[in-house]
C-alpha cells in the first residue's frame, strides 16, 4: 500500500491542476517546476495518456513538452488526438507545438535554417498569451524542424528571423503553440508567457501554496494513521528531516524516529540530529550507535561498490533490529520526492520509461511488513525546502549541501580506518566553515573534502613527514546531472589549505579538483 494522500486532500491539492505531457524533453520537469512556481499544481504524465483519463483528472490546462524526435518520423511519439477536442486549453512547446499543428492540419518539415540558442522574437499580434511582452525580446530556441504550413486553423502571433510561426494561436479554440522554450531562464519573458497561459487562457487563480499543502497533508496523515505509530528513518538530510517535521505536526507523540550513527557521518551530525528532533521537536528519537560494527565490516575493503553494498546491508540489519523494538508501529515514512517517482515509473500516469530503480531505505517496508507513507512524493526539491522552512526547520539544514547515503565511506578512498575518517571529517568541516565565512556556501551547490589513497613526502618543523593527501571539491550545478567545478578565490584556497595542514594531524598536502561532470562525477567513488 503506497497511497499517501486521502481523496479529500488529493481533490484540494489538484483543484487547479495542469498536466504536462512528456515527449522526452530534457526540460519537461523544468516546465512542471515553472508552473508550480506560479502557484498552480502541475503533474508530469506520459505522452500517450488517454483523453478519457485526462477527462477524469479534469485539468485546467494541458502542456505538450518538447522532445528529441521529428513529428514526421516513423516512431515519433504521439498523443491521443481527442485531447484537442476536450475543450481544455492546450499549449504546445517546441515538439509539442509541431505535434499540435500537425494533428490539426498543419505541415511540419525540416527548417531551411536550424535555430539553437538565443534568438530575437517579434510579437505580431496583441493577444492575451503575449500580454506584457515588448515588441522584441530574447527567447531560447532548440529545433531543426518547424511548422511550415499552419493551415487555416492557426494564426501566427510571434516570429523570428528564420521562423515565421514562432508562436501561434488557434482561430476558434484555446490551443496555442510556442516553437521556443519559455521554461528556460534564457527566454527573458518566458515566465510571463507561462503565467499568461495559466491566468488568461486556463483561468487559474494560483491558489496552490506550500502552506496549504502542509495542512492538506496533515489532515490526510491523521486520517490514514489513526492511533497507530509511524517510524521515520532519519539521515540528517533535508528530505527525511522535512518528513519527520511534517509527521510530528500531524501526529505528535505517535512518531518514532530512528537515526543510525554509522561512524561515517560529518562532524557533529549526530549531535545536530539530537538537538533538532529530541530537544526541539520532542520526538521519540532512537539513536543507534553502530559505528563500531560498520567500521569492523569495512576493514580492509577498498572497492567502492563493495563498500556501498556493505554499508547498505549493515544499515538494513541495524535499522530492522531497532524498528522491531518499537511496538504498535504500522507505517514507515520515507522522503521520496516527485523526480524519484517519475524516474522510477512509480506513477501510473507518469512517463513510461523507468530511468532508475528507487527505494529510499533499501526494501525496508517489504522486509518489515510496514505500510509506506511518502508525504513528499508530489514535490520537487525546492518545494521540499520551502515546506521545511514553513515547518520551522533551520536554514542551515534546509540549504545543506547533499551528502551521499554511504557517507564518508565513499569519500575515504582506499582503506577505511577510524584515523583516516577522523582526518577527513575534520578537513571537511574546515572546508564548509571557510565557505560559509566567505559567503559562498549558497553559491556553491556541493563542496566537500576527500582523503586520497596517496601519501606524500612533506616537511614540518625541520622534520620529514610521509602523510595523507586531502582533495577539495566544489561544484555549481542546476540539476546535479551536469556540474562545473567552482573557481574558488586563491586567498580562500590558501586559507583552507593552511588550516587543514596545520589543524588536521596526519595530513601534509591539499589539492583542488578542477574536473567537471561529465566526464568526472561529482563524488569520487
- Omega before 284 within 30 of 0, i.e. cis: no
Cα dihedral 189→194→195→196 (10° resolution): 90
Q: Who's near 491: CB < 8 A, 6+ residues apart?
A: none
Residue in 181, 201, 286, 374 annotated catalytic: 181
Radius of gyration of the chain (CA): 26
Q: Is 143 a catalytic residue?
A: no
C-alpha cell at 135: 515588441
Question: How far is 92 from 75, CA to CA, in rounded Å?
Answer: 19
Q: Is 170 a catalytic residue?
A: no
170-to-93, 106, 142, 201, 499 alpha-carbon distances in Å: 14, 11, 23, 12, 65
Q: Which residues of 379-395 are buried (b: 16+ CB within 10 A; e: fewer)?
A: bbbebbbbbbbbbebee
Q: Which residues of 478-495 are buried (b: 16+ CB within 10 A; e: fewer)?
A: eeeeebebbebeeeebeb
Q: Which residues of 439-460 are buried (b: 16+ CB within 10 A; e: fewer)?
A: ebbeebbbbbbbbbeeeeeeee
Q: Is 525 a catalytic residue?
A: no
- Residue 431 buriedness (CB in 10 A; 0-12 / 13-18 / 19+): buried
Closest C-alpha among 378, 376, 366 to residue 334: 376
Closest C-alpha among 15, 174, 42, 27 to residue 95: 27
The Cα diameter of the chain in Å comes to 87
Residue in 42, 47, 170, 183 annotated catalytic: 183
Evaluate whether 89 touches 202 at the Cβ level (below 8 Å): yes
User: N- to C-terminal Cα distance for the chain?
Assistant: 35
Tell me the three-class secondary structure of 233-278, residue by residue: EECCCHHHHHHHHHHHHHHHHHEEEEEEECCCCCCCHHHHHHHHHH
* Catalytic residue set: 94, 181, 183
Amino acid at each position: 500500500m503506497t497511497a499517501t494522500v486521502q481523496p479529500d486532500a488529493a481533490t484540494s491539492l489538484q483543484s487547479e491542476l495542469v498536466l504536462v505531457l512528456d515527449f522526452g524533453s530534457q526540460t519537461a520537469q523544468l516546465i512542471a517546476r515553472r508552473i508550480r512556481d506560479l502557484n498552480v499544481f502541475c503533474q508530469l504524465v506520459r505522452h500517450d495518456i488517454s483523453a478519457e483519463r485526462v477527462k477524469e483528472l479534469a485539468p485546467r490546462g494541458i502542456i505538450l513538452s518538447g522532445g528529441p524526435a521529428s513529428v514526421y518520423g516513423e516512431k515519433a511519439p504521439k498523443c491521443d488526438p481527442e485531447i484537442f477536442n476536450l475543450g481544455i486549453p492546450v499549449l504546445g512547446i517546441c515538439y509539442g507545438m509541431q505535434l499540435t499543428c500537425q494533428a490539426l492540419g498543419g505541415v511540419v518539415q525540416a527548417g531551411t535554417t536550424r535555430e539553437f540558442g538565443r534568438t530575437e522574437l517579434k510579437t505580431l499580434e496583441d493577444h492575451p498569451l503575449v500580454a506584457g511582452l515588448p515588441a522584441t525580446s530574447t527567447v531560447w530556441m532548440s529545433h531543426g524542424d518547424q511548422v511550415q504550413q499552419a493551415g487555416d486553423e492557426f494564426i501566427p502571433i510571434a516570429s523570428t528571423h528564420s521562423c515565421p510561426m514562432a508562436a501561434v494561436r488557434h482561430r476558434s479554440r484555446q490551443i496555442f503553440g510556442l516553437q521556443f522554450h519559455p521554461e528556460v531562464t534564457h527566454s527573458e519573458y518566458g515566465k510571463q508567457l507561462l503565467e499568461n497561459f495559466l491566468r488568461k487562457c486556463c483561468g487559474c487563480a494560483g491558489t496552490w501554496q506550500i502552506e496549504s499543502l502542509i495542512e492538506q497533508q496533515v489532515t490526510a496523515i491523521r486520517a490514514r494513521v489513526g492511533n497507530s505509530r509511524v517510524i521515520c528513518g532519519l539521515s540528517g538530510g533535508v528530505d527525511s528531516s522535512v518528513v519527520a517535521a511534517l509527521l510530528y505536526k500531524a501526529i505528535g507523540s505517535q512518531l518514532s524516529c530512528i537515526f543510525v550513527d554509522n561512524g561515517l557521518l560529518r562532524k557533529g551530525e549526530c549531535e545536530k540530529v539530537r538537538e533538532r528532533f529530541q530537544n526541539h521537536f520532542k520526538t521519540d528519537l532512537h539513536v543507534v550507535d553502530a559505528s563500531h560494527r560498520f567500521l569492523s565490516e569495512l576493514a580492509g575493503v577498498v572497492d567502492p561498490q563493495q563498500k556501498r553494498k556493505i554499508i547498505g546491508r549493515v544499515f538494513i540489519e541495524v535499522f530492522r533490529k531497532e524498528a522491531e523494538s518499537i511496538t504498535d508501529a504500522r507505517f514507515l515514512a520515507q522522503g521520496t520526492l516527485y523526480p524519484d517517482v517519475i524516474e522510477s515509473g512509480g506513477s501510473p500516469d507518469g512517463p513510461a520509461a523507468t530511468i532508475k530503480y528507487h527505494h529510499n531505505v533499501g526494501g525496508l517496508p517489504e522486509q518489515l511488513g510496514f505500510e509506506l507513507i511518502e508525504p513528499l512524493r508530489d514535490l520537487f526539491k525546492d518545494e521540499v525546502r520551502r515546506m521545511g522552512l514553513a515547518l520551522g526547520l533551520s536554514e542551515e539544514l534546509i540549504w545543506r549541501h547533499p551528502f551521499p547515503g554511504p557517507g564518508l565511506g565513499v569519500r575515504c578512498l582506499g582503506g577505511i580506518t577510524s584515523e583516516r575518517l577522523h582526518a577527513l571529517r575534520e578537513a571537511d568541516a574546515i572546508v564548509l566553515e571557510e565557505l560559509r565565512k566567505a559567503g559562498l556556501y549558497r553559491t556553491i551547490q556541493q563542496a566537500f573534502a576527500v582523503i586520497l589513497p596517496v601519501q606524500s613526502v612533506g616537511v614540518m618543523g625541520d622534520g620529514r613527514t610521509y602523510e595523507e593527501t586531502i582533495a577539495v571539491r566544489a561544484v555549481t550545478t542546476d540539476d546535479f546531472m551536469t556540474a562545473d567545478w567552482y573557481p574558488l578565490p586563491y586567498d580562500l584556497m590558501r586559507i583552507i589549505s593552511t588550516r587543514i595542514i596545520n589543524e588536521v594531524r596526519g595530513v601534509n598536502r591539499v589539492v583542488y579538483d578542477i574536473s567537471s561532470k561529465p566526464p568526472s562525477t561529482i563524488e569520487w567513488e
